Structures are given as C-alpha cells and as structure tokens.
Amino acid sequence: MSLEIQALDIDGVLSVVPPRAAPVPLVFDSPHSGLSLPADFRPAVSAEMVRIASDTHVDDLFGFAPDLGAPLLIAQFPRSFLDVNRSLKDVDLELVNGQWPHPVRDSPSARRGMGLVWRYAWGDVPMYEHPMSVAELEARIDRYWRPYHGALVELLDANHAAFGCVYHINCHSMPAIGHKLSPDPAGTVRADMVIGDYEGTSCEPGFVALAAETLKGFGYSVALNVPFKGAELISAYSDPSRKRNSIQIELNRRLYMDEATRERTADYAELRRNLMEFGAALKTYALHISSIG
C-alpha cells in the first residue's frame, strides 16, 4: 500500500493539507469555513454580511486531521459566494440574466435562496443588486466549484485505492437556533451536534453509530439527519456498498464561538480537544475495517 498525498494551495480557492503522520483511510473537508472575498465579487452588502453564513473556525477545529494521517481539504471563499455543497443543478435561475444553458432541477435549497449561489446574504437581505450573466456564473463554477470537487474526488479515490475503503468526514457548523433560511422552523433550539448520513444512504451504519456514540460520550447532545441530513458533498461520491463512506457533521456554534462577534469563546479549546479524540476513534475504526478487507 502506498499513498502519497501532496499539499495543494490554489490562492483564494482551496488548500489541501496533506497527512503529517502515516496515512489512514480518512478524508476531512471543510467546505464553508472560507472568509476571503474574490476580487471580482461585487455583492450589494458588506464583506461582514457575506461572511455571516460561513462556518468560521471549522477548518481549525478539525485542523488535527493531518496529525492523524488524514488529508484536510479547505475552501477559502465564502459559501454564500459559491456553495460547493450544492449540485450544479441547484442554480437559482432568478440570479441569472438570460437563458441558463445547463440542466437544473427543482431544488428546495435554491427555492430558499441558498442554491449554488445565494440569493440572500442573510435573512431577506439580497446579496446582489442585479442578476449575473451566464458567463459570470459559468466562470465562477469553473474557478471554484470544479477544483474543489476535483480535489475531493482525488483524495477519496486515492484513499480508497490504497486502503480498500474510505471514510469522509464533511465538516460544518450551524447557528444555535433555527432561522428564516433553515430547514427547521425559526426559533428551533438545536442539538450540540448533528450527524448526517443522507438518511442512511451515504455511510455504513457502524461508522455512523461510532461517531454519534463517541460524541455523546463527551456529554454532547447529538441528532441524526435532523435538521441536516447532508447535501451534495456526502451524497455525490459515496457508495457504502463499495466501502466509500461519507458523513456530515454540524457543530453548534454556541459550543465555541460568540455568534454576534464570531470570536472564539473560552470553551473553544475543550471542543477542539474532544474533536481530536473523536478523530482518533474514527481512525481506529477505519484502520480496523481496512485491515479485515
């Protein structure tokens, strides 16, 4: 078995942090923690408002992954600029000037204004003054969406080829309380963490159970698939029957940051330590599955 994962940095687009220890069949990605605004992005709102939907600090909270032997893929741009956790068919046609020449689907996320490109910065505040041209959206997809998905697939394929299995952990955060744009009713008080396995289809159940039980062991409340079952990044490339497994994890922001200032709170270090231990438990499990072939 040989697995050589190289560091990759595409300025303003993505980074791959390669393993710093013997490789294990785990891949972590943080698609929404990016805060850098592309130079040609002209929102009608402030940069602060653009960043409000970001999973701030999630790349750091899972920054232990390379020390476990797992690569960590990180998007550098804000999710409301382009959401890589959407299918290319989730284009919100209200945002496009003229005829969009590619396939779309009836998308609940696009209907809520949270499609591939977001209609609102937050709540009901529009992100743009004018719809964008077909060429502008196509260029955004080519420059940001395709490289991210390409990098993820490469990591998943390389791990699967080397170990005969791969476990992908897709890392996110969520506001403490349900809001106007979310799938759960506004005002819903959320669990500490939500694990999504796309309603039981993106990951074999033993890994999901281990993940949930390990987190509960630290005292966290853990929900499964409600209100977040996961989206494109865990559904598009997983196939548990071929030992290609993906889960999504949503961390409640109240565990580690002040949602108003986005500053880390005193509890940050404890969560980070617990997540590291969580990662170690996932590693032991994944290596065991790989060893029994």
Of 75 and 165, the one with the shorter C-beta distance to Zn ion is 75
Stretch that binds Zn ion, among 170-178, 207-215, 218-226, 263-271 (CB under 5 A): 170-178
Q: What's the rounded Cα separation, in Å, for the pair 48 and 46?
A: 5
Least Å from the CB of residue 56 to Zn ion: 10
- Measured from the CB atom, the residue of 29 and 55 that comes closer to Zn ion is 55
Nearer to Zn ion, 149 or 172 (CB): 172
In angstroms, what is the minimal distance from the CB of 122 to Zn ion?
14
For the CB of residue 97, give the shortest distance to Zn ion in the complex, in Å. 28
- Shortest approach of Zn ion to residue 249 CB, angstroms? 10
Q: What is the per-residue burial (b if ≥16 Cβ within 10 Å, else e) of 60-69? A: ebbbbbbebb
Question: At closest approach, how far in Å is the CB of 176 from Zn ion?
Answer: 15
Amino acid, single-letter form, for residue 184? D
Nearer to Zn ion, 71 or 78 (CB): 78
Q: Please, which of residues 25-84 interact with Zn ion by CB under 5 A?
A: 32, 55
CA 93 to chain centre: 24
Name the residue nearer to Zn ion (CB basis): 169 or 289: 169
Contact criterion met (CB below 8 Å) for 34 and 24? no
- CA dist 148 and 77 (Å) reads 11
Rounded-to-integer distance, Cα 93 and Cα 269, Å: 42
Peptide bond between residue 227 and the one before it cis (omega within 30 degrees of 0): yes
User: Could you tell me the smallest distance in angstroms from the CB atom of residue 233 to Zn ion?
Assistant: 9
> Environment class of residue 265 by beta-carbon count within 10 Å: exposed (0-12), middle (13-18) or buried (19+)?
middle
Q: How far is the CB of 4 from Zn ion (least distance, A)?
A: 29
154 φ, ψ to 5°?
Answer: -60, -45
Using the contact rule CB under 5 A, the part of the chain among 4-12, 135-143, 171-179, 208-216 near Zn ion is 171-179
Which H, E and C letters describe 195-263, residue by residue?
EECCCCCCCCHHHHHHHHHHHHHCCCCEEECCCCCCCHHHHCCCEHHHCEEEEEEEEEHHHCECCCCCC
Stretch that binds Zn ion, among 6-14, 169-177, 193-201, 263-271 (CB under 5 A): 169-177
| # binding residues, Zn ion (CB under 5 A) | 3
> Which of 55, 232 has the CB closer to Zn ion?
55
Interface residue with Zn ion among 149, 172, 244, 283 (CB under 5 A) is 172
Amino acid type, 230: G
- Interacting residues with Zn ion (CB under 5 A): 32, 55, 172
